[in-house]
Chains A and B, each alone.
Chain A
Amino acid sequence: MTSLAPPARAGVCLSGKKARALVRLLILEYPRLVQPTLFASVQWTVSSLTRYVRDLLESDASLQDVWVEGEISNLSRPASGHVYFTLKDSGAALRCVLWKTSAARLGMNLQEGLAVAVHGKLGVYEVSGQYQLYADQIRPVGEGALYQEFLRLKAVLEAEGLFDGARKRPIPELPRRIGIITSGTGAALRDILNTLRRRSPLAEVIFAAAPVQGVEAPPALVAALAALDAQATDVILLARGGGSIEDLWAFNDERVVRAVVACGTPVICGVGHETDFTLCDFAADLRAATPTAAAELATRITREDLAAYVRDAGLRLATMLLNLLAAQRNLFAGLIAELRYASPERRVISERQRVDDYARRALAGLVHRVRLEAAQLKGLAQGLDALSPLAVLGRGYAVVTRKTDGRVVSRLALASAAMRVRVSDGEFDVRKS
């Protein structure tokens, strides 16, 4: 083994490409370079050479901290728990090893054909003489890049305190005006309206249509939030049905997230399904698993609750009236008793008696008087009788009248042929002889 140090030992950092070139140079040319004569060539053993190459690679700091992008192939997971695969691109392949402990911390599923970026250090597996990448982190690229962006933005906004529980506002239990932001054509709107119609038909709904995916979605969602905020809504439902991470991406847009935070009205976010989380979910005052759940959370007090409350209020009112009336009746009964005692009625009764008495006495007087008069009249009649000429007839006298002219025959000269004689109890005719 020579003591000659290759240039790479000098602590210079090489780019991966230069390092690779150097490795090739060393492996192929080094023996010739250091052994210029034909007969004095140094004999390497495979092991020593391989060890030498390994030392070379592993002493290059730039090769000990690399990210390599490629596609996974020849994925193998033996029982040991370590993971072996080859990272390929169109022009080359790189053997990779992921130790069991790193594999356990990976947090993603490795699949054949998956585009990934792998981090690790380059080394040589001496047994098979292969250089390879000892991986410690793997992240997806492509779709995975969106997820990385999600995590990055989430970390930034979280650090700003936008997701703090302390700034979340309570959702009104009985909102009068409910704002809805979603697509005018999706099932989310129908689900929300049906739920609101069933649970809280007293509410007024203001719908702001906005595209919920595509490049025009974020500015439209921001505008809709501002418009509903200006409509004095009590709560705003920001909703979208399920979809892929790209479909839901507008709800991870920084502008939309910040608009949710800035909105003066409490926002309930119901995007995707139970398992979907967007940054708007974190920023909203309340996260709902689905659009329907958002509508339910906005209507904690339902029509049935209200009806029960009104029913109860009516009963309380009626009970109060009954109590009130009972109290008044008692009061009234007391007053009546008092009033009756002080009443002029008793006086009226005695007065009436007195009047009756007077009347009776007046009547009695009258009767007495009439009787008196009657007696007097009788006496007068008797006196009158005594004076009557008719009374003389009773004593045997008679009255003789002429039949022709009725003159009383008080002298002979007045006597006529036919005369009438009146006695006390009748009369008869006589003839002059």
Chain B
Amino acid sequence: MPKSATPKPVKDLNYEQALAELEGILSALENDQKSLDESMKIFERGQALVARCNELLEAAELKVKKISGDALIPFEDDSS
């Protein structure tokens, strides 16, 4: 839940984070009594999170890395 004073900008959230926060917002809006101002604020946040999730789903591209010794190096396969 975005209880912290300065929530992370949505563009910095990965899918899991955005989704988890969105779920928190939904349950907060469903269950808690909040001022309109506060509700509007977290609703806007929720909308931004929905957009972020969609954007990440649309743009998602499988990231493949390969273990090389102790390091991870990008791995290009010829199957895509």
Contact = CB atoms under 8 A, between A and B. Distances in A.
Interface of A: 174, 176, 189-190, 193-194, 196-197, 200-209, 224, 227-228, 231, 303, 306-307, 309-310, 313-314, 316-317, 320-321, 324, 328
29 contacts: A176-B16, A190-B77, A190-B78, A193-B62, A194-B79, A197-B61, A200-B62, A201-B61, A203-B63, A206-B65, A206-B72, A207-B75, A224-B67, A231-B67, A307-B54, A310-B19, A310-B22, A310-B54, A310-B57, A313-B26, A314-B47, A317-B25, A317-B29, A317-B47, A320-B29, A320-B43, A324-B36, A324-B39, A328-B36
Chain B's interface size range is: 20 to 34
B59 to A, nearest CB: 9
B65 A204 contact: yes
Contact of A203 (B62, B67, B79): B62
A313 B19 CA distance: 9
B57 A202 contact: yes
Nearest to B23: A313
Binding site secondary structure of chain B = helix
A316 B46 CA distance: 10
A317 B26 contact: yes
Contacts of B57: 202, 303, 306-307, 310
> Which 8 residue pairs spanning A and B have beta carbons closest together?
A201-B60, A190-B79, A314-B50, A310-B53, A205-B64, A197-B62, A208-B67, A202-B60
Contacts of B61: 197, 201
Nearest to B61: A201
B39 A193 contact: no
Interface in B4-25: 15-16, 19, 22-23, 25
